[in-house]
Amino acid sequence: MRILLLGSGGREHALAWKINQSVWTNPLYIAPGNPGTARLGKNVAIDISDFDAIGKFCIDEKIEMVVVGPEEPLVNGLCDYFNEKEELQNIYFVGPSKQGAMLEGSKAFAKAFMQRHNIPTAGYREFTLENYEEGVAYLQEHSLPIVLKADGLAAGKGVVICHNHVEAIAEFELMIQQSKFGDASKKVVVEEFLEGIELSVFALTDGQHYILLPEAKDYKRIGEGDTGLNTGGMGAVSPVPFATADFMKKVEEQVVKPTINGLYEEKINYKGFVFFGLISVNDDPYVIEYNCRMGDPETEVVIPRLKNDIVDLFVATFNGELDKVELRADPRSAVTVMAVSKGYPLAYQKGVEIKGLNENFGKSSLLFQAGTKEKDGTIVTNGGRVLCITSYGENIDEAVNTSLDMLSYVQFDGMYYRNDIGYEFK
Ligand code: AMP
Ligand code: GLY
């Protein structure tokens, strides 16, 4: 099967690694990919926001399956673009329609969807310029802390947690009146703060049936002990010890099933991944966000634990046959540790040479590249999150120690990583 994977991060390197192992894959293209994916398939220089260019490539190269890594093309309607064009309709497209992707693309849509389907989530109200004054009054009376969320996509920066009313009203004004996140913050969701521990749960759905993938927990803060600024994710672990069978049963019954059934009932075309960003409050799951894609860096631990042929799963997804497959997961733990550029998540340097990428990391570890590029025959940094090393272990402790050992073979100027990924589970 001729497959095109869209994206260029560590998530896509992990997906490419897995797709490349499928008996179906021949060949694999990645657009635009990175130097890591170039070892597993052929990178093609296509801008993934250019739907016409993607469509033309698929026709020219007789692509039979498209797998979408990041949310943006989905939120902008790439799936619908394929469905509307006769010559693209028959391609196995893995990713939801524009309407389905609104679970991630509009916080207000997601909240209303959860209300309609009785899915546990924090209480909320939504505001725009039209009811701005009412919003200010609402904030003044709100218990602390207050969570403000820009409605639309804001590159992961649209959620602000405010610890006093003055700060909340100032942020509210910035979002709505000053368009802090452009059109994305024309509408703002004001939400109750939930106190608990977070968990990332992933389903693959054909729009009616689903399979649950291994769960994961990511570490968003830059500093050890979960301190400092938020990042795209500094590491992840899977499985997650507090996600017991009892807890996961609640997740399935209270969150996953009502979500998939809700999509089905509302006739929303959704064939792809659903990422449930959950928080466990006194051992009960609440949804803090949906994403219409896999997580990053969660993918770098979830996919290595998946034993099924992933292309088999994608074919079943497209054909509406996910009720006929059974997930098989590696019982070992997987931990990934992300190495980032000095200064990240604030300003950082790019173009720094990376050494050690060709080391033999052994059977227990995998190196996934994220923000890297090739320059004059060497591989240099090209982003904040540069690469990660995933390791398997009998437990989280063993897996993280292996990743830390392996990271000592890789070097670039200003390289930083957290030594404490998985600390609460050791
Ligand atoms: P998001 O951009 O939706 O992933 O939100 C970013 C982070 O904000 C989440 O991972 C949580 O840590 C936090 N967060 C979002 N909503 C809430 C909430 N209602 N209560 C507590 N923390 C939240
Ligand atoms: N790791 C969180 C995300 O991918 O959104």
Q: What is the mean pLDDT of residues 111-124?
A: 97
pLDDT of residue 60: 98
pLDDT of residue 129: 93
**How far, in Å, CA of 363 to CA of 355, rounded?**
20
CB of 42 closer than 8 Å to CB of 28 = yes
pLDDT digits (tens, 9 = 90+) for 77-103: 999 999 999 999 999 999 999 999 999
Per-residue pLDDT tens over the stretch 312-362 = 999 999 999 999 999 999 999 999 999 999 999 999 999 999 999 988 899
pLDDT at residue 157, as a whole number: 84
Question: Letter for the amino acid at 341?
Answer: S
Residue 159 Cα to ligand 1 midpoint, Å, equals: 7
What is the percent of the chain with per-residue pLDDT over 70, rounded to a whole number? 100
Which ligand has an atom closest to residue 104 CA? 1
Phi, psi of 222 (to 5 degrees): -70, -30
203 CB within 6 A, ligand 1: no
The ligand placed nearest to the CA atom of residue 143 is: 1
Q: What's the average model confidence in pLDDT over 1-10?
A: 98
DSSP for 301-333 reads HHHHHB-S-HHHHHHHHHHT-GGG----B-SSE
Measured from the Cβ of residue 360, the count of other Cβ atoms closer than 10 Å reads 8
pLDDT for 148 equals 95
Mean pLDDT of the chain: 97
SS3 of residue 156 by DSSP? coil
Residue 194 Cβ < 6 Å to ligand 1 = yes
Atom of ligand 2 nearest to the CA of 295: 4
| Distance from residue 191's CA to the centre of ligand 1 (Å) | 10
Ligand lying nearest the CA atom of residue 301: 2
State the Rg of the chain over Cα. Answer: 21
Provide the token pair at 185.
């913050």
Separation of CA 110 and ligand 2 centre (Å): 17
Q: Which of 151, 227, 248, 219 minimizes the C-alpha distance to 190?
A: 151
Ligand 2 pocket test target in 298, 338, 368 with most atoms within 8 Å of CB: 298
Task: For 270-285, write each residue's pLDDT tens digit.
Answer: 999 999 999 999 999 9
Look at residue 18 and tell me whether its pLDDT is greater than 90. Answer: yes
Q: How far is CA 269 from the centre of its chain?
A: 20
Give the other-Cβ count within 10 Å of 348's Cβ.
18
Please say whether the beta carbons of 107 and 83 come within 8 A. Answer: no
> Which ligand is the nearest neighbour of the Cα of 230?
1
| pTM of the shown model | 0.96
In ligand 1, the atom with minimum distance to the C-alpha of 122 is 19
Residue 2: how many other CB atoms lie within 10 Å: 16
- Centroid of ligand 2 to alpha carbon of 376 (angstroms): 32
Residue 58 has pLDDT above 90, yes or no: yes
Judged against a pLDDT cut of 90, whether residue 426 lies above it is answered with no
Among 371, 373, 364, CA closest to 388:
371
**Which residues have any ligand 2 atom within 6 Å of their CB?**
218, 233, 291, 295-296, 298
User: What domains, with CATH codes, occur in the chain?
Assistant: 3-95 (3.40.50.20), 129-186 (3.30.1490), 197-425 (3.30.470.20)
Can you tell me the mean pLDDT for 394-412? 97
User: Both tokens of residue 250?
Assistant: 């609640």
Element housing 171 (H / E): helix 165-176
75 lines ligand 1 (CB under 6 A): no
Q: Can you give the pLDDT at residue 213? A: 98
* Cα(365) to centroid(ligand 1), Å: 31
DSSP at 395: S
Instruction: Identify the pLDDT of residue 156.
Output: 78
Q: What is the mean pLDDT of residues 145-152?
A: 95
**pLDDT band, residue 155 (cuts 50/70/90):** confident
Q: How far is CA 83 from the centre of its chain?
A: 24
Chain CA centroid to CA 175, Å? 24
Distances (CA, A) of 369 to 33, 42, 115: 10, 15, 39
Question: Whose alpha carbon is nearest atom 5 of ligand 2?
Answer: 295
pLDDT of 383? 96
As beta bridge partners, residue 353 has 380
* Cβ proximity of 119 and 110 under 8 Å: no
pLDDT at residue number 411: 97
Q: With cut-offs at 50, 70 and 90, classify the pLDDT of residue 196.
A: very high
Q: For residue 67, what pLDDT band results from cuts at 50, 70 and 90?
A: very high
191 lines ligand 1 (CB under 6 A): yes
SS3 102: helix
- pLDDT confidence of residue 273: 98
* 113 Cα: distance to centroid of ligand 1 (angstroms): 18
Give the Å distances, CA to CA, from 299 to 32, 162, 192, 275, 399: 18, 30, 29, 11, 16
What is the mean predicted confidence (pLDDT) over 375-402? 97
Q: Which ligand approaches the C-alpha of residue 277 most closely?
A: 1
**From ligand 2's centre to the CA of 238, what distance in Å?**
14
Q: Which residues of 268-292 are buried (b: 16+ CB within 10 A; e: fewer)?
A: bbbbbbbbbbbbbeeeebbbbbbbb
**Closest residue to atom 4 of ligand 2, CA basis:** 295
User: Phi, psi at residue 141, to the nearest 5°?
Assistant: -95, -5
**Residue corresponding to tokens 């947690």:** 161
Coil, helix or strand at residue 296? coil
